[in-house]
Amino acid sequence: MGDFTSGFWEIYISVLTIVSILACAVFLKSQTRAPVPGKVGTTGHVWDEDLAEWNNPLPNWWRWLFYITIVFSLVYVVLYPGLGIFRGVLGWTQVGQYEQEQKRAEAAYGPIYAKYAGMEIEQVAADPAAMAIGQNLYLNYCAQCHASDARGSKGFPNLADGDWLWGGDPKQIKETILAGRNGVMPPFGAALGAEGTKDVAHFVLSLSGAPSDSIRVARGKDKFMQTCAACHGPEGKGNQALGAPNLTDKVWLHGTGEGAIIETINQGRNNVMPAWKEFLGEQKIHVLTAYIWGLSNKSGAK
């Protein structure tokens, strides 16, 4: 990568930019000439027998519009960092602008978040104004994975159904957002073999009452106890301390049915929830937690 971060490329970009702007000016000048009285010709292009392309110079208003754009581009690269080796006399950077906008936003909205930070998450969830803020935070930072209605998709948990891999208590949800999670299901296909994997898959299906082969269920039970119970528990009810899902509740993160379960056992799974503490800060996450907790704790939520 050193070849792409050396000083040569800054010089290359600067020269290319300046030469391109000046070349546009030279080309425009070469195309600007006054017509010779009594001698107006065509370019030689004729269509439909009599539709000819005349070789007239550009109108002055059009020509000067092009010149203005060239002057504008030169002024721009003087004021702003349009060149690789020159940062612009204004000293503007996109990082600097972002930091200024963040400071203005913090000054305007910081007191609001500070007010909610002193409240219990359940209290925040009961405040309509706080929930409107939480919804905006969710749509900006969470909806890309968990969907705008928070019902997730294959591989991304549903946040509105009351089923939680790492626990649905407000403190547990907040910890998930703050520090992130890394859920790992190791692959067991090599250890179990094709038939053993299928046996365990049918035993797992039986745990939630799904159609299964009773003979394979009987054979798969012992294999499940040997390879799976350490995380999912002997009854298959999962372990929130490990992020191991409950296999008895008919909620499937990576799809249900024999094929999907066999794929999971064979290949394993690795799900990562990124940490948001450094980016959002604890006060914003406090409000976001209240919003997410409220999704599965409304009246009638299951």
**Residue 44 resides in a domain:** no
**Residue 47 resides in a domain:** no
- C-alpha span between 208 and 302 (Å, rounded): 17
Tell me, yes or no, whether 214 and 267 share the same domain: yes
Nearest alpha carbon to residue 84 among 2, 6, 23: 6
Q: Do residues 162 and 301 lie in contact, with contact meaning Cβ atoms separated by under 8 Å?
A: yes
Residue type, 84: G
Look at the chain and report how many structural domains it folds into: 3
**Residue 288 resides in a domain:** yes
Tell me, yes or no, whether 239 and 286 share the same domain: no
Tell me, yes or no, whether 17 and 132 share the same domain: no
Burial class (CB in 10 A: 0-12, 13-18, 19+), 68: exposed
Q: Do residues 133 and 266 lie in contact, with contact meaning Cβ atoms separated by under 8 Å?
A: no
- C-alpha span between 233 and 241 (Å, rounded): 12
**Residue 40 resides in a domain:** no
**Residue 36 resides in a domain:** no
Instruction: Write down the H helix ranges in 5-119.
Output: 7-30, 60-79, 94-117
Instruction: Print the domain residue range for 19.
Output: 1-31+53-92
Tell me, yes or no, whether 110 and 236 share the same domain: no
Tell me, yes or no, whether 81 and 225 share the same domain: no
Q: Do residues 286 and 174 lie in contact, with contact meaning Cβ atoms separated by under 8 Å?
A: yes
CATH code for position 268: 1.10.760.10
Burial class (CB in 10 A: 0-12, 13-18, 19+), 42: exposed
Q: Angle of helix 189-207 relative to helix 214-227, nearest 10 degrees?
A: 120
DSSP 4: G
**Joined tokens for residue 32:** 């600007």
Tell me, yes or no, whether 83 and 222 share the same domain: no
**Residue 302 resides in a domain:** no
Tell me, yes or no, whether 105 and 76 share the same domain: no
- C-alpha span between 242 and 277 (Å, rounded): 21
Task: List the chain pLDDT tens, one digit each, 302 residues.
Answer: 455 567 788 888 899 999 999 999 998 888 776 655 655 677 778 888 888 887 777 788 888 999 999 999 999 999 999 887 888 999 999 999 999 998 999 999 999 999 999 999 999 999 999 999 999 999 999 999 999 999 999 999 999 998 999 999 999 999 999 999 999 999 999 999 999 999 999 999 999 999 999 999 999 999 999 999 999 999 999 999 999 999 999 999 999 999 999 999 999 999 999 999 999 999 999 999 999 999 998 753 33
**Residue 106 resides in a domain:** yes
Tell me, yes or no, whether 165 and 269 share the same domain: no
**Residue 167 resides in a domain:** yes
Helix (H) or strand (E) holding 140: helix 128-141
Tell me, yes or no, whether 282 and 269 share the same domain: no
Tell me, yes or no, whether 190 and 268 share the same domain: yes
Tell me, yes or no, whether 125 and 229 share the same domain: no
Nearest alpha carbon to residue 283 among 113, 112, 109, 106: 113
pLDDT of amino acid 31: 74
Tell me, yes or no, whether 3 and 81 share the same domain: yes
